[in-house]
Amino acid sequence: MQFHNTLAFAQEQDHADELRYFREHFHIPQHKGQDTVYLCGNSLGLQPKAARAAVEAEMTKWAELGVEGHFVGDDPWFTYHATLAEPTARLVGAKPLEVVVMNQLTVNLHLMLVSFYRPQGQRYKILTEAGAFPSDQYALESQVKFHGYAPEDAIIEIAPRPGEHTWRTEDILQAIEENGDQLALVLMGGLHYYTGQVFDMAAITQAAHAVGATCGFDLAHAAGNVPLRLHDWGVDFAVWCTYKYLNSGPGGTSGVFVHERHAQNADLPRFAGWWGHDQRVRFQMQKGFLPMAGAEGWQLSNSQILPMAVHKASLQIFDEAGMDRLRTKSEQLTGYLEFLIKELNQPKEALEVITPQEPSARGCQLSLLVHQNGRQLFETLMANGFILDWREPNVIRVAPTPLYNTFEDVYRFGQFLAAHFTQ
């Protein structure tokens, strides 16, 4: 696409956008009576208009049926999570058997580590990216300590090369190979929260398995953002939240993927709970845990119906839009944003995009490294109706999300930056 730095161009693209009507499915926060330019889906997605009705339907069921809501009516609560399996599988490139929606992200990460971080002998180390999201760092630190290891010894962190902001895939693969006889697990983010870089999950998984390690991913910033093929890539496990690109509400529920090769392995260590027990005999209330086949066997408690109702409403939107179409628009929006930033002609010492330029290596996020008065710029943007987020020490993350953002949103943001840098 040939970009132009004009309002007419942006409006023409919006008029031609086959996904433009999805914006009407969402509530857009207001600023002085006008729609904000909401570029913060990487932190909290907007509320689907269908979410309230979805929750109200379950509230009505609770009011009218009480406990019987578990077993009668549309989508009984007893099997509610199962209604999310097929759309979730389509979203992350999995089989329905391989996914389950439950708990929240870090809880699920710990549950997966119990099963898939199994240190033995000299094979006790975990390889991850330096500067991973704090939840991942804390989870890994506590898990290795739980097994009696020191984090500074047991956790290998791979950093970008000096003077670079992002990782080279060959460096990650080389580190896996060099530490192969000591690696128990490779765990990385699918998309790095700070830089916006998408990691080559297929290559990383293959390299991990080649040295005898298991491989998992935190997809908090990848699910609903970039196409995923978890089954085909052979990933052992993955976890993700649903409140960012999946628009399922603050503190929303989480998703889990466990590859089908582990589906029938009842001997795989895990922390067990009632809802992961074979549902055919669950109500016999007997000792002896018999896990459900597949990812459902990692469930602990019964479903969080109200958060899941919101998530179900969002998944229906994703099914209608389709990840392939969303990805195409995402690349165009983010490409337009990159074009407008380059049009500013700012020196690297003032403003720097630290997200990869290659579209396949990024999602719908550009991270702007502002070297001077970055926090002041961020606060000025927010005060003028541009909703973004700030990450210490000096990055503004900008995420044009294809379900509800427009080319005009991106153009307006570019115009504001241009006015700021020409003052």
Domain ranges of the chain: 7-47+322-421, 55-319
Confidence class for position 422, pLDDT limits 50, 70, 90: confident
Q: Which residue has the tokens 């509610």?
A: 80
Q: What is the pLDDT of residue 74?
A: 86
Those residues with Cβ within 8 angstroms of residue 378's Cβ, 6 or more apart along the chain or in another chain: 370, 388, 390, 396
The pLDDT tens digits for 308-330 are 999 999 999 999 999 999 999 99
Q: Is residue 87 predicted with pLDDT exceeding 80?
A: yes
User: What's the whole-number mean pLDDT along residues 87-113?
Assistant: 98
The pLDDT > 90 percentage for the chain reads: 95
Q: What are phi and psi of 374, to 5 degrees?
A: -65, -45
| CATH number, span 7-47+322-421 | 3.90.1150.10
Residue 73 has pLDDT above 90, yes or no: no
DSSP assignment, residue 403?
Answer: T
pLDDT digits (tens, 9 = 90+) for 266-293: 889 999 999 999 999 988 889 999 999 9
Task: Assess if CATH 3.40.640.10 describes domain 55-319.
Answer: yes
Query: What is the four-CA torsion angle of 124, 129, 131, 135, rounded to 10 degrees?
Result: -60
Residue position matching structure tokens 């007893």: 78
Spatial separation of the C-alpha atoms in residues 201 and 131, rounded to whole Å: 18
Q: What is the pLDDT of residue 69?
A: 96
**Residue 19, pLDDT score:** 98
Give every CB contact of residue 391 below 8 A, 6+ residues apart in sequence: 193, 194, 367, 397
Torsion of CA 327, 332, 337, 340, to 10 degrees: 170
**Residue 423 clears pLDDT 80, i.e. is over it:** no
Q: For 215-274, what is each residue's pLDDT tens digit?
A: 999 999 999 999 999 999 999 999 999 999 999 999 999 999 999 999 999 889 999 999
- Name which of 145-149, 150-154, 369-373 the model is least confident about: 369-373
pLDDT of residue 295: 97
Per CATH, 7-47+322-421 and 55-319 having the same topology is answered: no
Q: Which helix (H) or strand (E) holds 359?
A: none
Give the pLDDT confidence score for residue 1 in this predicted structure: 85
pLDDT, average across residues 164-181: 98
Both tokens of 60, joined, read 């009505």
Q: What average pLDDT does the segment 143-172 reach?
A: 98
Residue 115's SS3 state is helix
Average pLDDT over residues 345-353: 93
Q: Mapping DSSP to helix (H, G, I), strand (E, B) and coil, where does residue 64 land?
A: helix
CA distance 241 to 237: 14
Which string of b and e fits 11-44 if b means at least 16 CB within 10 Å?
eebbeebebeebbebbebeebeeeebbbbbbbbb
